DNA sequence: CATGAATGAGTCTTCATTCAT
DNA sequence: CATGAATGAAGACTCATTCAT
């Protein structure tokens, strides 16, 4: 999956100073996205907020899209890392425990910067390089898939690809939806219910 | 949730010709969205494609957003109508049958114009009046909620609001995801699995 | 020779008002080119000088290049028309008379807007659609070629294509050069000498 | 014509390394011009291609224009040197021989780096210091002028300035045009015809 | 009511050049 | 003197929307 010329970071910052610049740009972008939404996020605002000239911005990112893409990548990385760590940690645990922990860590992952997450999910068009947003699901799905493998004889579904797909997407979308729904607290009860739906699916032989 | 001045259709077309104009605009918008995506959909293109002057377009819609909102509304209506009809029809049916039918009709609903559905979901920012995209879920959730009411003693979850939320969002998101995933056929097996996850959740007492 | 999307006029002005707009744009461009040169000619200046919004400019011309190209086309047309008319008129005249008249009319053609001509020739990069500048030579060459045909047995060169090439380019470049050279008056003597070089070439059998 | 501050090479490279740097810059510029044209030649690209930092580039050249100007100067020098040598060599030769040799050497001179020559002629705006492009003609004209002096009584034209002008510009422009015209081979026949037009002009008494 | 010409604020992006390290 | 990060003026172009006809 080679990155297109338009979205590949233009040059990697080599000196300390330029690393700070890139960092400042990403942080500024995060703030603006969270405060004003994707539509009114533009490169001039980003540069200004980052305390960087517009020229510097374009030294490191070839386009506005590339900045958002980088942000998405970071965000996705940090989320999947948390999840991966937990799944590896609970590899040996009984299904119920593992699932409950998975649910917990996914919720935590969504709590890191939930406002940003919402903006990315709801406002950023999944077009071109920005499709990477879907990567989170894909990577979580892969992690789950390999976990299921180890539990193959504990679970009912035979088609592990499909089962991982079902789990990953339900998990993700329900957490999204809950986070976006002010009337619904993401509390113990929700966590419990989320664990239930996944666990039932895997174990109840209907 | 009263409509703002900016997104309420400016006047209801009452004469025959007006209705045709509105129709032409919405159809043109659909085509352009499907063919070129949301980003390159603009009012001038829409007017041209609809065979209508840009001035006339603004007679019927106060803004670009209003056009998309109208489209979303239509789309959501047609989807929820199908689902509502089916749920009412199966009100008396046993849980398993009802759920299976619900799954079937949801899949059908996504098949009416799947390309448009994808564009609306993935590319249209859920901001301002365009948040209505979420209405489909909300309305389906309400329908399910009232169905669950009738089945209260057949099912395990006690918090019906939460249960309806779980079902509606899982259903919706899994069908979306499947439709967007070329490697996954939306076939009998998928339908079966989707029914399973919902049914297990409602009946298995974990 | 189909025009590329970037340089083809965007829409032909249909109403009276828009014809005036296009005209104003071209006139403004001419003035700015003559006064400030190609490098400092930009679309914003053109629009302002034309008393037209930048948006209007882009209604009719898809790019800056397209405006210059249109100007070149006009300029080339007016030049070649003059020359064509004269050559047709002198078809029957003896060689010396015809050549002298050709020289005269070419000089006149360069005198219509010599400053513009210089800018177009010296400053506008002959790239993309702007290569049309060379069309003047090509079209003059074709006209001369067909004239030579009628004089075939009066002249020495046998390869009429080559002869037309020699005449057209010498003519053009010498007039250019003379116009650009302040120390050289484009006077009777120059006209005489120019006629001489062409006539000698065609008749003297060396 | 004193050089302006902006285009005079900033310092003459005196150490070996400096000479290499300047050389590398000019060579890189040549390559980029030939490959991508003048429009997309910029100082950052030049520096990168030359394997030199942009800062160093500005140590040796005060502006972009100065780089191109230096290139033009070199190119013009190498062309005029060839021509000068030949003309001096043929000072005693009969007119026809001298002219034929002049034609030959001019063609050779255009063959040294024809692609670069085309780019310089067609794409580089003859503005400011870049007017030097015209120097080739001027210098050739001066050389021819002094040669004609020695042949004064062999030739018809009395105004030697004008005659030199005619010869220099015809020669130059016809060779340019031929080089730019893919349909026309620069072969023996062309060489012959070019000699003819010059020789006829000088000798035939029309 | 239809038309389509006109508007202009707003955005992205480039690139010659400077300057701190 | 070399480096390359930083600068920012400048310019091309889009598109939602208005308004004269």
Condensed to tens digits (0 to 9), the pLDDT of residues D66-88 reads 999 999 999 999 999 999 999 99
Rounded distance between C-alpha atoms, residue D206 and residue D202, angstroms: 10
Quick one: pLDDT at residue B100?
A: 96
D180 pLDDT exceeds 50?
A: yes
Identify nearest nucleotide to residue B64 by CA to C1′ distance.
Answer: F16
- Distance of A61 CA from F1 C1′ (whole Å): 30
Quick one: pLDDT at residue C141?
A: 95
Helices A95-111 and A64-89 cross at an angle (nearest 10°) of 150
- Distance of A113 CA from E3 C1′ (whole Å): 50
**Which chain A residues are closer than 8 Å to B123 by Cβ?**
125-127
Chain E bases near protein CB atoms (7 A cut-off)? 1-21
Identify nearest nucleotide to residue A52 by CA to C1′ distance.
Answer: F6
Model confidence pLDDT, tens digit, residues A87-139: 999 988 999 999 999 999 999 999 999 999 999 999 999 998 898 888 888 99
Rounded distance between C-alpha atoms, residue A61 and residue A6, angstroms: 9
Protein chain D, residues 98-157, with a C-beta closer than 7 Å to any atom of nucleic acid strand E: none
Buried b (16+ CB within 10 A) or exposed e, B37-70: bbeebebebbbebbebeeebbeebbbbbbbbbbb
| Interface residue A120 vs chain B (CB under 8 A) | no
Quick one: pLDDT at residue B185?
A: 86
Mean pLDDT of A27-49: 96
Quick one: pLDDT at residue B181?
A: 87
Contact A172 B173 (CB under 8 A): yes
Identify nearest nucleotide to residue B43 by CA to C1′ distance.
Answer: F16
C6 pLDDT exceeds 70?
A: no
Going by the DSSP 8-state scheme, the letter that residue C187 receives in this structure is S
Window 143-202 of A, Cβ < 8 Å to B: 157, 159, 162-163, 165-166, 169-170, 172-174, 177-178, 180-181, 184, 189-190, 193-194, 196-197, 199-201
A67 pLDDT exceeds 60?
A: yes
Rounded distance between C-alpha atoms, residue D17 and residue D23, angstroms: 10
D50 with D57: CB under 8 angstroms?
yes
Nearest to C204 among D39, D181, D204 (CB): D204
Going by the DSSP 8-state scheme, the letter that residue A158 receives in this structure is S
Q: Please give the protein residue whose CA is closest to the C1' of the nucleotide E6.
A: C56
Give the CATH fold of the B3-65 domain: Arc Repressor Mutant, subunit A (1.10.10)
Q: Taking CB atoms and an 8 Å cut-off, how many pairs form between chains A and B? A: 112
Rounded distance between C-alpha atoms, residue D85 and residue A13, angstroms: 53
Task: Assess whether chains B and A touch, using the rule of 3 or more C-beta pairs within 8 angstroms.
Answer: yes
B40 with B31: CB under 8 angstroms?
no
Average pLDDT in chain C: 91
Number of H helices, E strands in chain B: 9, 0
**Which chain A residues are closer than 8 Å to B172 by Cβ?**
173
Give the closest-approach CA distance of A166 to chain B in angstroms.
Answer: 7
Q: How confident is the model at residue B4 (pLDDT cuts 50, 70, 90)?
A: very low
Quick one: pLDDT at residue D182?
A: 85
Task: Assess whether chains C and D touch, using the rule of 3 or more C-beta pairs within 8 angstroms.
Answer: yes
φ/ψ bin of A51: left (φ > 0), alpha (ψ from -120 to 50), beta (otherwise): left
B68 pLDDT exceeds 50?
A: yes
Q: How confident is the model at residue A1 (pLDDT cuts 50, 70, 90)?
A: very low
Model confidence pLDDT, tens digit, residues C58-94: 999 999 999 999 999 999 999 999 999 999 999 889 9
Model confidence pLDDT, tens digit, residues D113-143: 999 999 999 999 999 889 988 888 899 999 9
Chain F bases near protein CB atoms (7 A cut-off)? 1-20
C159 pLDDT exceeds 60?
A: yes
Mean pLDDT of A148-177: 95
Identify nearest nucleotide to residue C52 by CA to C1′ distance.
Answer: E6
Rounded distance between C-alpha atoms, residue C80 and residue C86, angstroms: 10
Identify nearest nucleotide to residue D55 by CA to C1′ distance.
Answer: F3
Q: How confident is the model at residue C2 (pLDDT cuts 50, 70, 90)?
A: very low
Quick one: pLDDT at residue A7?
A: 60
B8 pLDDT exceeds 80?
A: no
C-alpha distances out from residue A11 to A16, A74, C118, C140, Å: 14, 17, 43, 51
Rounded distance between C-alpha atoms, residue C67 and residue C54, angstroms: 13
C117 touches strand F (CB under 7 A): no
Residues 6 or more apart from B54 whose CB is under 8 A from it? Answer: B43, B44, B47
D46 touches strand F (CB under 7 A): no
- Distance of C63 CA from F19 C1′ (whole Å): 26
C-alpha distances out from residue C95 to C86, C104, D202, Å: 13, 14, 20
Model confidence pLDDT, tens digit, residues B137-195: 899 999 999 999 999 999 999 999 999 999 999 999 999 999 988 888 889 999 999 99
Mean pLDDT of D17-36: 94
Mutation target among A35, A125, A185 for the B interface, most CBs of B within 10 A: A125
Identify nearest nucleotide to residue B54 by CA to C1′ distance.
Answer: E4
10 Å Cβ neighbour count for B30? 21
Q: What superfamily does domain C72-203 belong to in CATH?
A: Tetracycline Repressor, domain 2 (1.10.357.10)
Dihedral sign from CA coordinates of C10, C11, C12, C17: negative
C55 touches strand E (CB under 7 A): yes
Quick one: pLDDT at residue A13?
A: 60
Secondary structure of chain D in the HEC alphabet?
Answer: CCCCCCCCCCCCCCCHHHHHHHHHHHHHHHHHHHHHCCCCCCHHHHHHHHCCCHHHHHHHCCCHHHHHHHHHHHHHHHHHHHHHHHHHHCCCCCHHHHHHHHHHHHHHHHHCCHHHHHHHHHHCCCCHHHHHHHHHHHHHHHHHHHHHHHCHHHCCCCCHHHHHHHHHHHHHHHHHHHHHCCCCCCCHHHHHHHHHHHHHHHHCCC
C-alpha distances out from residue D71 to A84, A160, B58, B113, D7, Å: 59, 67, 58, 61, 12
Mutation target among C182, C199, C204, C205 for the D interface, most CBs of D within 10 A: C204
A9 touches strand F (CB under 7 A): no
Which of C137, C131, C139 lies closest to C7, judged by CA?
A: C131
Contact A197 B162 (CB under 8 A): no
Segments making up each domain of chain A, as ranges: 3-65, 72-203
Rounded distance between C-alpha atoms, residue B166 and residue B152, angstroms: 16
Which of D80, D67, D81, D194 lies closest to D124, judged by CA?
A: D67
- Distance of C123 CA from E6 C1′ (whole Å): 32
D6 pLDDT exceeds 60?
A: no
| Weakest mean pLDDT among A129-143, B25-39, B50-64, D144-158 | A129-143
A139 touches strand E (CB under 7 A): no
Q: How confident is the model at residue B12 (pLDDT cuts 50, 70, 90)?
A: low
Rounded distance between C-alpha atoms, residue C101 and residue A128, angstroms: 63
Nearest to C159 among D134, D189, D199 (CB): D189
Model confidence pLDDT, tens digit, residues A181-203: 888 888 899 999 999 999 999 99
D14 pLDDT exceeds 60?
A: no
Mean pLDDT of A41-50: 96
Quick one: pLDDT at residue B96?
A: 94
C203 touches strand E (CB under 7 A): no
Model confidence pLDDT, tens digit, residues A16-31: 677 899 999 999 999 9
Give the closest-approach CA distance of A10 to chain B in angstroms.
Answer: 24
φ/ψ bin of B170: left (φ > 0), alpha (ψ from -120 to 50), beta (otherwise): alpha
Rounded distance between C-alpha atoms, residue A108 and residue A113, angstroms: 10
- Closest chain D residue to C162, measured at CA: D190
| Weakest mean pLDDT among B78-82, C133-137, D24-28 | C133-137
Model confidence pLDDT, tens digit, residues D37-55: 999 999 999 999 999 999 9
């Amino acid at each position: 999956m080679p990155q297109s010329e338009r979205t590949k970071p233009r040059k990697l910052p080599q000196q300390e100073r330029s690393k700070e610049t890139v960092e400042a740009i990403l942080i500024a972008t995060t703030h603006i996205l969270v405060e004003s939404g994707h539509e009114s996020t533009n490169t001039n605002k980003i540069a200004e907020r980052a305390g960087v000239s517009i020229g510097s911005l374009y030294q490191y990112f070839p386009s506005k899209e590339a900045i958002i893409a980088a942000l998405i990548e970071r965000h996705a990385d940090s989320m999947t890392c948390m999840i991966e760590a937990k799944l590896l940690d609970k590899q040996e645990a009984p299904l119920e425990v593992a699932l409950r922990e998975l649910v917990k860590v996914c919720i935590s992952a969504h709590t890191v910067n939930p406002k940003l997450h919402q903006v990315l999910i709801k406002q950023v068009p999944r077009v071109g390089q920005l499709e990477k947003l879907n990567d989170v699901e894909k990577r979580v799905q892969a992690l789950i898939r390999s976990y299921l493998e180890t539990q193959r004889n504990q679970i009912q579904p035979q088609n592990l690809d499909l089962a991982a797909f079902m789990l990953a997407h339900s998990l993700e979308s329900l957490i999204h939806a809950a986070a976006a729904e002010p009337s619904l607290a993401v509390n113990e009860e929700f966590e419990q219910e989320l664990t239930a739906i996944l666990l039932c699916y895997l174990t109840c032989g209907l």
